[in-house]
């Protein structure tokens, strides 16, 4: 029924959002690692 479809759609959106956030957090961590490794020549 329509209510079940709405619930499944919401679950898919929540899942996609959580996956996207995890991806963003990984990118941020990579940026911090790069900044620390090259801290001498990146911060002036």
Q: pLDDT tens across 5-25, in order?
A: 999 999 999 998 988 888 888
d(CA 42, CA 33): 12
**Is the pLDDT score of 4 beyond 80?**
yes
Residue with tokens 């941020």: 28
Q: pLDDT tens across 35-44, in order?
A: 666 655 555 4
pTM, two decimal places? 0.49
What is the band of 2 on the pLDDT scale with cuts at 50, 70, 90? very high
The mean per-residue pLDDT over the stretch 25-31 comes to 78
The CA distances from residue 1 to 17, 21, 25, 26, in Å, are 25, 31, 37, 38
């Amino acid at each position: 029924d329509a209510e079940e479809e709405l619930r499944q759609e919401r679950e898919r959106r929540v899942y996609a959002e959580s996956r996207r956030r995890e991806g963003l957090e990984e990118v941020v961590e990579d940026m911090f690692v790069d900044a620390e490794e090259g801290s001498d020549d990146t911060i002036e």
